[in-house]
Structure 1
Amino acid sequence: MRILLFVLLFLSFAYALGLVLANNTEIGVNLLFSQAPTMNLGLLLILCLILGIVIGMLLALLIFRVLQNKWEISRLQKENIHLQEQLTQANVVIDRQANSPTVEEAVYGSGATTPNTAALTVDKEPLLSKHKRD
């Protein structure tokens, strides 16, 4: 990989040197609001090429970062939906367990009361009526 990078760097340097040598005329650059001093045409071409590469790389990084954020948001939304489904299923299981008959109800029936539950209901009645009066 380093050898390939070295070869590409050497070829780009050779290309830039060829541009400078082949285009050795001096030209002036008009920047609309100002005038740049006269410079070699090959050097101007190299500067424009480098500026274009740098701006292109910065824009590519910006676009990649935006796409990466969109992918992350999409992944998190899918995970959120999956977790909400798991929560719903867990709530259904909890509701089933809460509404399932207890051992006493299964043994004595839902209408019958055991001696312990009868005592509890008798004790709760006066407390509830006392709180209702206040």
Structure 2
Amino acid sequence: MRFILFVLLFLSFAYALGLVLANNTEIGVNLLFSQAPAMNLGLLLILCMTLGIIIGMLLSLLIFRVLQNKWEISRLQKLNKNLQEQVAQANVVIDRQANAPTVEEAVYGATASNVHDEASTDPIETATLTKRKRE
């Protein structure tokens, strides 16, 4: 990997040197509101190309980060929706279990509170009622 990087660096340096040597004309640069001193055309081309590459890389990284954040937000919203559906289903199951008849209700046909109320008034009557309900 270092060898490939070294070769690419060498080729870009050779290209820049060739560009400076081939374009050795002095040129003045007008920056609309100011004037830059006269410089070599090849050097100006290399400077503009380098600035363009750097600005392009920074913008592409920024755009990629924005897109990556949007993808992450979308993924998390889908996950949140799925979790909300699971909570709703769990609440339905809990409600069904809370409203399901208890063992005493299923066996005796009365609520536990009715049996308890009857037992608190008169134990003999409660035993008789419980016996009748079993039959």
TM-score by length of 1: 0.84
Partner of 2:71: 71
Would the alpha carbon gap of residues 75 and 111 (structure 1) be closer, same or farther in structure 2, given more than 3 Å must change?
closer
Q: Is residue 29 from structure 1 mapped to residue 29 from structure 2 by the alignment?
A: yes
Q: Once the two structures are superposed, what CA deviation does each residue of 1:53-96 show, in whole Å capped at 9, x if it has no partner? A: 01000100110010010011011001101100110111011001
CA contact (8 A) 2:104 2:111 kept: no
The residue type equivalent to 2:7 in the other structure is: V
Alpha-carbon distance in structure 1 between the residues aligned to 2:120 and 2:84: 39
TM-fit CA distance, 1:2: 1.7
Give structure 2 stretches of 5+ with no counterpart.
122-135
Give structure 1 stretches of 5+ with no counterpart.
122-134
Partner of 1:124: none
Question: How many residues were matched structurally?
Answer: 120
TM-score by length of 2: 0.83
Alpha-carbon distance in structure 2 between the residues aligned to 1:12 and 1:6: 10
Partner of 1:55: 55
Alignment of 1:97-112 (within 5 A): 97-110=97-110
Q: Structure 1 segments of 4 or more deviating over 4 A?
A: none
Alpha-carbon distance in structure 1 between the residues aligned to 2:120 and 2:36: 98
Alpha-carbon distance in structure 2 between the residues aligned to 1:59 and 1:117: 77
Alpha-carbon distance in structure 1 between the residues aligned to 2:24 and 2:120: 106
